[in-house]
């Protein structure tokens, strides 16, 4: 991979990361801040967000902000208030990484619990839709803004027993495609999907309990791609599907 982000790539930019308290989202938030971004850390567990906040505050001169929201039960009103707060604090939003997600059950469709199914769709898809819709006006204020939807291999090719998770990721790909087309000639906002592929996190361990985590890349190894897509070097790239495993930079 030959892309190397400029250390000041995201200076004076504001980026929101969902699921910023753990896993890939935590590493992405820290990486964006290290490259100058003021990062809005959205997540479910306050203590985890506080820990990321402390790391960013001690390692950078940026202004991280914690937004504790449970995306399973989020109300539209919370997202509306968030948009107002971002506009007041930063004037605009330059980047949005939809990363938060839950695995749900790994069982056949035939025995998938209805409540569980809806819960997965609420977190992985519906919250991303509502959050995006509410944030678009404040993203339009950016010179060039980027939205990344996090996908998965099972969101591009179905696989038995991945149930609501796979379906939510297919839908995320659809949302990204529709939105990318809608915004292409009417805004400076680009929209892409990114499949990180098997990565050493809690979710991966939950999905593959027998796997040796040592065989998997760490989230940090994907950060060149995350930085490229969230920052201005990817200006003009929209409606594309990226794969961290095969991306070679340029």
Considering only residues 5, 13, 15, 19, which one is a binding residue for ligand NAP as defined by CB under 6 A? Answer: 19
Q: How far apart are CA 156 and CA 8, in angstroms?
A: 34
Q: In the chain, at which residue ranges do the beta strands (DSSP E only) sit?
A: 14-18, 38-43, 65-68, 95-98, 145-150, 189-195, 241-243
Any catalytic annotation for residue 165? yes
Give dist(CA 124, CA 118) in Å, integer: 10
Q: Which two tokens stand for residue 50?
A: 């506080």
Among 71, 120, 175, 191, which residue sits at the site for ligand NAP (rule: CB under 6 A)?
71
CB of 176 to ligand NAP, least distance (A): 13
Q: Does 96 bind ligand NAP (CB under 6 A)?
A: no
Q: Find, among 222, 213, 212, the residue nearest to 26 by Cα.
A: 222
Query: Is residue 199 at the binding interface for ligand NAP, with CB under 6 A as the rule?
Result: yes
Of 3, 165, 208, 226, the catalytic one is 165
Contact 249, 31 (CB under 8 A): no
Q: Which residues pair with 16 in a beta bridge?
A: 40, 96
Considering only 5, 17, 24, 227, the residue that binds ligand NAP (CB under 6 A) is 24
If one asks whether residue 25 binds ligand NAP (CB under 6 A), the answer comes out as: yes
Q: Which is nearer to ligand NAP, 72 or 121 (CB)?
A: 72
Taking the complex as a whole, the smallest distance from the CB of residue 8 to ligand NAP amounts, in Å, to: 26
Using the rule CB under 6 A, is 102 a contact of ligand NAP?
A: yes
The answer to whether 78 contacts ligand NAP (rule: CB under 6 A) is no
Q: Tokens for 43, please give them.
A: 């997540």
Gap between the Cα atoms of 30 and 20, Å rounded: 9
**Cβ contacts of 209 within 8 Å, gap of 6 or more:** none
Q: Does 70 bind ligand NAP (CB under 6 A)?
A: yes
Q: Site residues for ligand NAP, window 31-60 (CB under 6 A)?
A: 43-45, 48
Query: Is residue 121 a contact residue for ligand NAP (CB under 6 A)?
Result: no
Distance CA 32, CA 189 (A): 18
Q: Are 69 and 17 in contact (CB under 8 A)?
A: no
Cβ 116 to ligand NAP, closest distance in Å? 13
217 binds ligand NAP (CB under 6 A): no
Q: Given candidates 123, 125, 130, 179, which one binds ligand NAP under the rule CB under 6 A?
A: 123
Q: Which residues are catalytic?
A: 165
* List of residues contacting ligand NAP (CB under 6 A): 19, 21-25, 43-45, 48, 70-72, 99-102, 123, 150, 152, 195-199, 201-204
């Amino acid at each position: 991979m030959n892309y190397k982000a400029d250390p000041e790539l995201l200076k004076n930019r504001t980026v929101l990361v969902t699921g910023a308290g753990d896993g890939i989202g935590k590493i992405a938030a820290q990486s964006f801040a290290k490259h100058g971004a003021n990062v809005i850390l959205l997540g479910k567990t306050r203590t985890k967000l506080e820990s990321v906040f402390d790391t960013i505050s001690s390692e950078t001169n940026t202004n991280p902000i914690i937004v504790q929201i449970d995306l399973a039960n989020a109300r539209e009103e919370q997202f509306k208030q968030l948009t107002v707060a971002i506009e007041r604090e930063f004037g605009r939003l330059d980047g949005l990484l939809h990363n938060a997600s839950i695995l749900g059950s790994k069982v056949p469709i035939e025995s998938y619990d209805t409540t569980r199914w809806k819960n997965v769709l609420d977190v992985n898809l519906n919250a991303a839709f509502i959050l995006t819709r509410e944030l678009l006006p404040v993203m339009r204020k950016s010179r060039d803004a980027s939205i990344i939807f996090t996908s998965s291999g099972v969101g591009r090719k179905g696989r038995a027993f991945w149930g609501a998770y796979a379906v939510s990721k297919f839908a995320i790909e659809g949302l990204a495609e529709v939105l990318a087309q809608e915004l292409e000639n009417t805004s400076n906002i680009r929209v892409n999907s990114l499949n990180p592929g098997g990565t050493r996190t809690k979710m991966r361990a939950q999905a593959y309990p027998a796997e040796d985590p040592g065989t998997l890349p760490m989230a940090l190894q994907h950060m060149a791609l995350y930085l490229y897509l969230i920052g201005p070097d990817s200006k003009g790239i929209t409606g594309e599907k990226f794969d961290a495993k095969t991306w070679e930079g340029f």
